[in-house]
Amino acid sequence: MTPTASSTASSTSSHAVFDDVVRSDSSLRRFLHGLPGVDQVGCEARAAGLATRSIKTTSKAYAIDLAIRMVDLTTLEGQDTHGKVRALASKAMRPDPADPTCPATAAVCVYPDMVATAKQTLGDSGVNVAAVATAFPSGRAAMDIKLADTRDAVEAGADEIDMVIDRGAFLSGRYLDVFEEIAQVREACGDAHLKVIFETGELQTYDNVRRASWLAMMAGGHFIKTSTGKVQPAATLPVTLIMLEAVRDFREQTGQMVGVKPAGGIKTTKDAIKYLVMVNEICGDDWLDPDWFRFGASTLLNDLLMQRTKMTTGRYSGPDYFTLD
């Protein structure tokens, strides 16, 4: 992670620009509901239009390597074992053991109790450990438990914390509660970077996605993330488009960059490239970097590796030649 985001934001969890906005529940609501509404049809058409771009040869090779570097290799199952996490961490460091030119992924993403295991394997390889915290995936726990969950993960060595917002509070309009929660978790994170998960599949409308994006950015999140991967629909192109627009507008207003992480349901190289095209078109190439855009995925990596192998060897590869997890 580059320090640019944290250097301006770590001193205060919110920005002076928004002090008036977050003063009370009603001023916050006025601001969020005053954001321009999303044209649903227009947004979906734009996302679909961008998805038709054809990316070939050298651009495709670049996109595949970039996408691999952006992957947060994720395992969030009840059945996770230390062995599986070690295997996953090894894969994150060297995704294609047969090809030393293949870059490492950005991070591995695990439950807090697995952080130490992942950290031990990853060492100083440069691959970060991300931990989901705050009673992931539902977010239904008392505040002190969520904070303890976060501190636990940070103490165990997590470089990044993926928190979930309280969707119940958000949907019932208690925006300040959500704001405070994010700000407190941000504080509990210390030096670790905070990703704020909205679970857009539960937010019902695009307008809510835009509001949640601004709320999380004002509260000091380093990244905004679409989904836990446990709820369908997970990441979609239109939802990510709205979030990208939000981080773009936020930088215009505050000069500060926030990252975006779509997660869940991105399974093929084709999907990943569609997202990258969108990032470039909406936000520009400042965001085409693992510090500012991530994919939360597990199966995506194998497809990226198969496509990469196809490009280097000139023949189609098969799933037999890559690890299952």
Partner 1 sequence: MSRIDVRKTYKLYIGGQFPRSESGRSFVVNDAKGRLLANAAQASRKDARDAVVAARAAFGGWSGRTAYNRAQVVYRIAEVLEGRREQFEAELRAAEGITPARARSYVDAAIDRLVWYAGWADKITQVVGNANPVAGPYFNLSTPEPSGVIAVVAPRGPLLGLVSVVAPLIVTGNTVVVIASQDNPLTAITLGEVMATSDLPGGVVNVLTGSQSEIAPWLASHMDVNGIDLTGVEDAELATELEVAAADNLKRVRRPAPDTDWLAEPGLDRMTQFLETKTVWHPIGV
Per CB under 8 A, 57 contacts partner 1: no
Q: At its nearest, how many Å lie between partner 1 and the CB of residue 273?
A: 15
The one-letter amino acid code at 234 reads A
Shortest reach from residue 139's CB to partner 1, in Å = 36
**Token pair belonging to 31:** 């601001």
Q: Where are the alpha helices (DSSP H) in the chain?
A: 4-9, 25-34, 40-50, 57-70, 82-93, 115-122, 143-155, 167-171, 175-189, 206-218, 237-254, 269-282, 299-313
Task: Kindly list the catalytic residues.
Answer: 162, 225, 261
- Least spacing, CB of residue 268 vs partner 1, in Å: 10
CB atoms inside a 10 Å sphere around CB 30: 11
Contact in structure between 156 and 183 (CB atoms under 8 Å): no
299 contacts partner 1 (rule: CB under 8 A): no
C-beta closer to partner 1: residue 124 or 320: 320
Q: Tokens for 98, please give them.
A: 């047969």
Query: Which of these ranges, 118-126, 222-230, 288-296, 310-318, lies near partner 1 under the rule CB under 8 A?
Result: 310-318
Query: Which listed range, 59-67, 196-204, 292-300, 311-319, lies at the site for partner 1 (CB under 8 A)?
Result: 311-319
The window from 78-86, 111-119, 277-285, 315-323 that contacts partner 1 (CB under 8 A) reads 315-323
Q: Which of 11, 79, 320, 324 binds partner 1 (CB under 8 A)?
A: 320
Size of the site for partner 1 (CB under 8 A): 8
- Residue 316 in the binding site for partner 1 (CB under 8 A): yes
Q: Is 270 in the site for partner 1 (CB under 8 A)?
A: no
What is the nearest approach in angstroms of partner 1 to the Cβ of residue 60?
A: 13
Q: Per CB under 8 A, does 314 bind partner 1?
A: yes
Paired residues of 59 in beta bridges:
none
Sheet of 193-197, strands arranged across: 259-261, 223-225, 193-197, 160-164, 128-133, 107-110, 71-74, 295-297
Looking at the Cβ atoms of 100 and 314, the one nearer to partner 1 is 314
Question: Which of 104-112, 219-227, 233-241, 314-322 is the region at the interface with partner 1 (rule: CB under 8 A)?
Answer: 314-322
As a whole number of angstroms, the distance between CA 283 and CA 289 comes to 12
Pick from 319, 323, 324, 325 the residue near partner 1 by CB under 8 A: 319
Amino acid at 33: H
Q: CB neighbours of 182 closer than 8 A, spacing ≥ 6?
A: 163, 165, 194, 196, 215, 216, 219, 220, 221
Interface with partner 1 includes 317 (CB under 8 A)?
Answer: yes
Measured from the CB atom, is 54 or 232 closer to partner 1?
A: 54
Closer of 6 and 323 to partner 1 (Cβ): 323
Sequence-distant (6+) residues with CB within 8 A of 132 are: 76, 109, 110, 111, 112, 161, 162, 163, 164, 197, 228
CB of 319 to partner 1, least distance (A): 7
Two tokens, residue 15? 């920005």
- By CB under 8 A, which span of 63-71, 72-80, 161-169, 316-324 interacts with partner 1? 316-324
Residues forming contacts to partner 1 in the complex (CB under 8 A) are 314-321
